[in-house]
Amino acid sequence: MGFLVYLSFYERRGNALPVDILIEKANIYYQQPLKNGLAQEIILTDLNDVKSLKDFKLIIHGFTASRFHSSIKPLKQAYLDQGKDNVLLGDWSEAAKVDYPTARKIVRKVSLTLAKILENFIKKFNIEKSEVHIIGHSLGAHIAGCIGHYFNGSLGRVTGLDPALPLFTPKSSDSLNSNSAQFVDVIHTDYPVFGDILPRGTIDFYPNYGFTGQKGCDEFDLAAASKLLFKAYSCSHNRAVLLYAESIGLPRNFPSIPCNLHGIKSRNVGICQQEIVERGLTIKSLREAIAAMDDDTVIYMGEAASKSATGIYYLETYGAPPYGLGLFTQLL
């Protein structure tokens, strides 16, 4: 019911300009690092030099947002704080202001606009496609996935942060999936309102089972508070962003355990025990691996996610930062 109210609420939004013109305004901005964690912004097509040809991060916002939105700033800042040189922000904010059904329909067109800009940049500096990592939130996750499809899955990595649920199906061709890049990791935090529970990556993480009402986020009655809908549920939807941003500076803060979709949907972590056994582990050995920070055994959610890992993973978080339980992770 949640996203139906959401659609009804946002059908009243709109923009006077033809949507194709709004899509053409989409662009990518390079964040030139300055002192004290700040950055000077340069339109990507105007960039004449890059310090390194390694590990480019392209961050893409979702519906109603922009590159200045609270769902983007934590990611950008986390990378800059780590001394990251090659941070790019994709902005399609003019088109993101239209009603949601229209925004949903133009995902492929927006991705094509941004993909062509990225392609020219890659050719200009002779960048290896495997060095490109796209991170998208909400609708931006599907745009990121479609950009990956434009490059036939050759990009190094695509990360989906709570991919949008409304008007997407498992068969939607213009959506994030495991073929979007060489490695696709997904974090789910707001099902069944704004976020999808469907596994869409090489590896999918479900903090607190991936449902809305993430720890520290208030519960709201959608039927009684539709006017507050976006505000009310942006907490769980944006939580994926905050978790990932934290992982950039604290890569071992989110150890996870293998699970399956049945265990996630039923919110029964006990079901995960079967998956643990099938992977040749025991609860005791997994506890010991987490305590020893054994990167060969432990799968971490976030920036340090193992690119050789596949499947569905569960973890708990705290309700306030630092969100990760780290060494205090609770197992079965």
Q: Which residue has the tokens 């944006």?
A: 238
User: Is 138 one of the catalytic residues?
Assistant: yes
The encoded tokens of residue 198 equal 């469907």
Which residue out of 91, 162, 185, 204 is catalytically annotated? 162
State the Cα–Cα distance between residues 326 and 307, nearest whole angstrom: 20
Cα 189 from Cα 257, distance rounded (Å): 16
Q: Which of 137, 237, 247, 256 is catalytic?
A: 237
N- to C-terminal Cα distance for the chain? Answer: 32
Pairing state of beta strands 56-60 and 27-33? unpaired
Active site residue 69: no
162 in catalytic set: yes
Other beta carbons within 10 Å of 86: 21
Active-site residue, from 71, 93, 138, 256: 138
Residue 150's Cα: distance from chain center in Å? 19
Instruction: Please count the other Cβ atoms lying within 10 Å of the Cβ belonging to residue 204.
Output: 28
Catalytic residues: 138, 162, 237
